Amino acid sequence: MKLNRRSFIKSAAVSSAVATAGSIFPGISFADWKRVKGAYGITWKKAPCRFCGTGCGVLVGVTNNRAVAVKGDPNCSVNKGLCCVKGYHSVQALYGRDRLKKAQIRKNGKMVEVPIAEALDVIAAKLKETVKKHGKDSVAMYGSGQWTIPDGYVASKLFKGCLGTNNVEANARLCMASAVTGFMTSFGIDEPMGCYEDIEHADVFITWGNNMAEMHPVLFSRMLASRKRKKDVTIIDLATRTTRTSQAADRSILFKPNTDLAVANAICYEIIRNGWMDKDFVKKHTTFHKGKTNIGYGTEDHFKFKDKPENMSFAEYKNFLEDYTPEKAERISGVSARDIKYMASLYGDPTKKVTSFWCMGMNQHVRGTWINNLVYNIHLLTGKISTPGNSPFSLTGQPSACGTVREVGTLTHKLPYGVVMKEKARKKAEKIWDLPAGSIDPKPTYHTVEMFRALDRGDIRFMWIQVTNPMITMPNLNRYRNGALKDDRFIVVSDVYPTPTTDVADVILPASMWIEQEGMYGNSERRTQHFDEIVPGPGDTMSDTWQIIEVARRLGFKKQFPWSQKNYIGKIWEEYRRFHDNPKHNMAPYEVLKARSGVQWPFVNGKETRWRFNSKYDPACKKGSDFDFYGKKDGKAWIWARPYEPAAESPDQEYNFWLNTGRVIEHWHSGSMTRRIPILHNAVPESYVELNPEDAANLGVVNGELVKIISRRGSITMKASINGRGVPPKGMVFVPFFDEDYKINEVTLDAFCPISKQPDYKKCAVRLEKA
């Protein structure tokens, strides 16, 4: 190509313009940033993202001890260099103006700043006093799926081990307890068998009540990219509300709330009726079971439930499914028999690899354990499990719900290895923790909802809350906030910003946030992700782990908490790892974690396990087997007969709408971090109520007008959103829960799955008024 003068000028202009647009800087003036003084170079350090359970690897750009930029970590196989808008701006959450930097103590009703050592003294004294006055089970620790692994580990060691109370719970009870009980009842061992690589292998994706486009956007992009690259990839969005995920899907199928149970059973019915069952697999690797029915909703205090599993034959199971022919399921669910048959044909097609994704839609469900079981049934009947692309995949919502809550076991019945009810597990913990035999109580105490009820009743008098915001996130919030505010309740809150939860605190501890401390998270695909202390925290901030260690030492447990602040994380990790010294759960050594952008467990002989229960990939499988579901004694997974049962509270004459709650892509959890990030706050400055356009017309409201949402528990008035981010079907409204000025959980119901004890935030009855 010979250049004449004109084309040369044109081409130079274009390439300089492209260079400018393409490489962001230099050459473009950046608004009005305040610059870090004397800073020229950036060093990049790896960390997992602070927000959701996807576990993206990020590289944090640091200059003069300030985090100034973020890029996707190309070495991290989760996101391969791409983040979402929250991840890219995550470091700005470190620098909100109202960051908590000093400890505070309530004195004469007012919070006053004190040196942190004084606050720690007060906490230790109050703990001791409360145990003395009201017994060991009157003190509680309420933690988080955002706890680092060491945070949760030392919390469990102090409360379960040293203090001997099983009053340790975490907000992950509200987010993935049903996933855990689903795994335990179907497979006898927790966490997904597959990994994110399933996304590139699968031909069909079915999202069960899971708006991945907003909640797990990075994985959703991987799915879209796979569909674009390959031929014949199909995405089905099976949900109760139309979302961005429905827009991107090849087919959007809506079901009535709670009726996914009927749909899943009908899919199984069709699979068997059409001879799509993998008979060989089912015979070799599964057994059939049923449990109790009409199991209740847990809305009353002291609710107790224990399932009673019974064996059943395949013929009996088949007979059970007769209630769920596609036609009968259509009457229950509103999903056409045709659509049910279509989905069954996708699951049943032997040439197609199928991945099911779900998260809160199936977990925050009064029959959460059941619906988890039923989706596993589909994959077990068709033998589409534990092989690349064939994957029932339960996603998590918090960065370390798996790592800290499920693996460390920061739930009332759990220990890092096994459950408190088992002597072997208690002995193991007592040995590793250097405690006398019998230190650990064999009886679980309160699950989260019951724990806050106990606080309200006065059975619990002292609660320490770390890295979470229950005064936004507890369902039926009015009761639990009033409980926390009662006289003679002592609340300690460790957090990074003032929140409605610090508002009810008697002591506030300023916590290190994310990369201001060393730690590990564990994501949805069994990946443990280490991060160093990358920037210093402001003021008196202290890691949650170290706060607990300080209090433990004040209580006299120096022997159990001997570490120095210089290397405690590595020491804690190596101690914790002893709980998982078997090929089903081996964790990678500290040095390996430090070096890599995440390592999957089981980590056996220096290798990560991508697909569990499949002897091709999983060294824990019995030799000579093809599949080995080794969580169960006989190596066989359980197929469960679980019926459809309705929600705890369905719309009636008076309260005639469903209320559904959830998130938006911009805000994470209760918004205490994302709302302090300017770009995210400006994109969605406040919450709103989504209405179906027809319902809005009937109510006489247009976009932005105020609507009052009233339930039997409370009411809230907020702006209507019509044809906005999502569209609920007629008879349903949807509200994002992030906004502390519109606490939708004052309206929701504290009904839960009797097996998992996880509340259902997706279903309760409300009525609407134009405000």
**Active-site amino acid positions:** 86, 175-176, 360, 397-398
Q: Near another protein by CB under 8 A, which window of 636-644, 651-659, 676-684, 713-721?
A: 676-684
Cβ(427)–Cβ(416) below 8 Å: no
Which residue from 700, 674, 696, 698 is spatially nearest to 687, judged by alpha carbons? 674
Q: Near another protein by CB under 8 A, which window of 6-14, 392-400, 528-536, 629-637?
A: 6-14
Note whether 665 binds another protein by CB under 8 A. Answer: yes
Beta strands 354-358 and 204-208 are parallel
Note whether 1 binds another protein by CB under 8 A. Answer: yes
DSSP string over 452-496: HHHHHHTS--EEEEES--HHHHSSSHHHHHHHHTSTT-EEEEEES
Among 681, 708, 712, 719, binds another protein (CB under 8 A): 681
Note whether 679 binds another protein by CB under 8 A. Answer: yes
Q: In 152-232, which ranges are E strands?
A: 168-170, 204-208
Note whether 202 binds another protein by CB under 8 A. Answer: no
DSSP string over 678-690: HHHHHHS-S--EE
Note whether 61 binds another protein by CB under 8 A. Answer: yes
Note whether 40 binds another protein by CB under 8 A. Answer: no
Cβ(555)–Cβ(124) below 8 Å: yes
Note whether 741 binds another protein by CB under 8 A. Answer: yes
DSSP string over 562-616: ---TTTHHHHHHHHHHGGG-STTT----HHHHHHSS-EESSEETTEE-SSTTBTT
Note whether 668 binds another protein by CB under 8 A. Answer: no
Q: Near another protein by CB under 8 A, which window of 18-26, 195-203, 324-332, 515-523?
A: 18-26
The helix or strand, by DSSP H or E, that contains position 16, with its residue range, turns out to be helix 5-22
Among 45, 66, 71, 102, binds another protein (CB under 8 A): 71
Beta bridge partners of 355: 205, 391
Cβ(430)–Cβ(419) below 8 Å: no
Closest approach, Cβ 80 to another protein, in A, equals 11
CA distance 81 to 101: 33
| Interacting positions 699-718 with another protein (CB under 8 A) | none
Q: Near another protein by CB under 8 A, which window of 256-264, 311-319, 395-403, 675-683?
A: 675-683
Nearer to another protein, 482 or 698 (CB): 482
Total residues found in the chain within this entry: 771
Per-position x/- string for 78-97, each x denoting binding to another protein as judged by CB under 8 A, each - no binding: ----xxxx--xx-xx---x-
Cβ(97)–Cβ(485) below 8 Å: no
Query: How many residues sit in the footprint of another protein (CB under 8 A)?
Result: 59
**Close Cβ partners of 594 (under 8 Å, ≥ 6 residues apart):** 530, 532
Note whether 682 binds another protein by CB under 8 A. Answer: yes
Closest approach, Cβ 68 to another protein, in A, equals 6
Closest approach, Cβ 50 to another protein, in A, equals 14
Note whether 685 binds another protein by CB under 8 A. Answer: yes
Nearer to another protein, 226 or 364 (CB): 226
Beta strands 43-48 and 732-736 are unpaired
**Close Cβ partners of 231 (under 8 Å, ≥ 6 residues apart):** none
CA distance 541 to 538: 6
Note whether 207 binds another protein by CB under 8 A. Answer: no
Per-position x/- string for 208-237, each x denoting binding to another protein as judged by CB under 8 A, each - no binding: -----x---xx-xx--xx--x---------
Closest approach, Cβ 217 to another protein, in A, equals 4
Among 683, 699, 719, 724, binds another protein (CB under 8 A): 683
Nearer to another protein, 112 or 125 (CB): 112
CA distance 729 to 254: 8
Which residue from 420, 421, 476 is spatially nearest to 452, judged by alpha carbons? 476
Q: Near another protein by CB under 8 A, which window of 15-23, 117-125, 552-560, 582-590?
A: 15-23
- C-beta atoms surrounding 228 within 10 Å: 8
Closest approach, Cβ 110 to another protein, in A, equals 14
Q: Near another protein by CB under 8 A, which window of 479-487, 603-611, 651-659, 681-689?
A: 681-689
| Interacting positions 473-532 with another protein (CB under 8 A) | 498, 503
Contacts 24+ apart (CB under 8 A), 79-82: 79/54, 79/218, 82/56, 82/218, 82/221
Site residues, another protein (CB under 8 A)? 1, 10-11, 13-15, 17-18, 20-22, 24-25, 28-31, 42, 61, 68-71, 82-85, 88-89, 91-92, 96, 98, 213, 217-218, 220-221, 224-225, 228, 244, 248, 498, 503, 665-666, 675-683, 685, 740-741
